[in-house]
Amino acid sequence: MTDKSHRLYAVVLALVVFFVAWAAVAAKPWATAKTDPRVTALALREQRLGADTKLVQRVAAQRMAVYQVALKQRRAQIASAKARSLHATTASTASVQVAQAATASVRVVNLPPLTITRTS
């Protein structure tokens, strides 16, 4: 076997296998990937913001409930004030009508003629 082409193919194949193995070892596929501390910090911040959001929503709901109760009371006060005003208005109107019916006299007022003075 003095054919040199087979030796050349064998050497080239050996070199290709060597470099492929070297690349595979350099890639370290068995090593665990380290987590980025920024991603960890971001996840913690997201959890804190979620908790803060729930707290804010609970406080807002409580304030809204208190507001609804106060609004209901205020509307009741306004309705009662309008009813009292309407009652007072009808009572005063009735008393004025009774007074007008009692005094049937008419008063006529004569005013002097209107004088207009112009300034130039």
Residue extents of the structural domains in the chain? 4-29+36-98
pLDDT of residue 92: 75
pLDDT of residue 5: 86
Q: The pTM is what?
A: 0.44
Measured distance CA(67)–CA(75) in Å, rounded: 12
pLDDT of residue 101: 64
DSSP state of 29: T
pLDDT of residue 86: 85
Helix, strand and coil content of the chain, in percent to the nearest 5, comes to: 75, 0, 25
- The tokens of 95 are what? 């008393």
Average pLDDT for consecutive 10-residue bins of the chain (120 residues)?
80 95 86 84 95 96 96 95 86 71 70 74
